[in-house]
Amino acid sequence: MSETAPQPKTAAANPPVQPIGSNLLPSDVVRISATKDVPQPDRQLTKVAKLIDVSKCIGCKACQSACIEWNDTRPEVEENVGVYENPHDLTPNMFTLMRFTEWVNPETDNLEWLIRKDGCMHCEDPGCLKACPAPGAIVQYSNGIVDFIHENCIGCGYCVTGCPFDIPRISKVDHKSYKCTLCSDRVAVGQGPACAKACPTQAIVFGTKEDMIAHAEERIEDLKSRGYANAGIYDPAGVGGTHVIYVLHHADKPSIYDGLPDEPRISPVVEGWKGVTKTAGLAVMGVAAVGAAIHGIFARANKVAEHEEHEAEKLVQSGDGNGGTV
């Protein structure tokens, strides 16, 4: 194979068509779901980030179109119920979704139309990966990308519960979990995400995390000079920072942007399961291996009754999680 691709710096470039060596390799993985002692990579890739400036977004959804086209997903055509969200939620075929909020600013009595591009935040400390019981179904690369390896996914849906942003979605067709990849296949050849390239207002930009923070700071200064005193960056420390970051004009109130968590962190339940999930996951796989009807199990596994949720929480809180005395 020919030369190795450079590391990406921007999304505003035309992808190569000549064969080029991938620059995002199995050896660049720093964390693997349900796997301890991941060998430390011999190099550290430059951390990347996608910056979404909600103050520049016009809600056109070019990013959604570009994501569908690049990933060859095909969200179902749904019914118009009188709202702008389309589709109605993230789906296994729609990795990013514009969420619209009409908010009356109590200080000015102005109606503000808040538009936020929702999707995986690529957490430095990913709750999905920590909750996942299937070895190798979720990996994190040293540049910060959290990616799903679908062949290893058992469709249990724990990643959905583990994610502080409620992002992954389980396909009813193949019972695998799907979410934004940060276009890992483009990043691997030195390109930026399809959504960032397409965005006509450049509300979405992509580059090294360092560059994106610097760009965000410029934007925040500009917003402050226009009267948005609380403009700021959303790069939440509770999940170790993220590789998808926002510029918010009201950074003091993230939740007004359609429920963006004010202080996201991994649920203590997930942190508590850590010890047992791996064992439990393997037990499931054992059952599967002796010839259980895989579909039956995994389709059912998604249904967690609310009382069970509470019991699990109690268990973890009482420190009884590993005792098996349920």
Partner 1 sequence: MNIDLSRRGFFKLAGAGVAATSLGAMGFGEAEAAERAHVRAFKLATTTETRNTCPYCSVACGIIMYSKGDVKAGETAELIHIEGDADHPTNRGTLCPKGAALKDFVHAPTRLTKPRHRAAGASEFQDITWDEALDKIARAMKDDRDANFIQTNEAGVPVNRWTTTGFLAASATTNETAWLTYKTVRSMGIVGFDNQARV
Q: Pick out the residues of the known binding site for [4Fe-4S] cluster.
A: 57, 60, 63, 67, 120, 123, 128, 132, 153, 156, 159, 163, 180, 183, 195, 199
Does 195 bind ligand SF4 (CB under 6 A)? Our answer is yes
Does 39 bind partner 1 (CB under 8 A)? Our answer is no
Binding residue for partner 1, selected from 85, 103, 267, 280, defined by CB under 8 A? 280
Please, what is the Cα angle at 189 between 201 and 98, to 5 degrees? 30
Interface characters, 167-186, with ligand SF4 (x: CB under 6 A): xx-x------x-xxxxx---
Does 50 bind partner 1 (CB under 8 A)? Our answer is no
Backbone angles phi, psi at 5, to 5 degrees: -65, 150
Element (H, E) at 284: helix 268-289
Share in percent of the chain as helix, strand, coil (round to 5): 30, 20, 50
Report the site for ligand SF4 in 93-112 (rule: CB under 6 A): 95-96, 98
Report the site for partner 1 in 219-258 (rule: CB under 8 A): none
Q: Give the separation between CA 139 and CA 147, rounded to whole angstroms.
A: 5
Q: Which of partner 1, ligand SF4, none sits in contact with 212, Cβ below 5 to 8 A by type?
A: none
Interface characters, 126-145, with partner 1 (x: CB under 8 A): -------x-xxx-x-x----
Q: Which of ligand SF4, partner 1, none sits in contact with 146, Cβ below 5 to 8 A by type?
A: ligand SF4
Quickly tell me which residue has 């959504």 as its tokens: 195
Report the site for partner 1 in 294-323 (rule: CB under 8 A): 296-297, 300-301, 303-305, 308-309, 311-312, 315, 321-323
**Residue pair 87/147 in contact by the 8 Å Cβ criterion:** no
Query: In Å, how far are 184, 187, 236, 291 from 25, measured between CA atoms?
Result: 11, 11, 27, 34
Q: Which is nearer to ligand SF4, 42 or 187 (CB)?
A: 187
Give just the sign of the alpha carbon dihedral 273, 277, 278, 279. Answer: positive
**Residue pair 195/63 in contact by the 8 Å Cβ criterion:** yes
Q: Which of partner 1, ligand SF4, none sits in contact with 102, Cβ below 5 to 8 A by type?
A: none
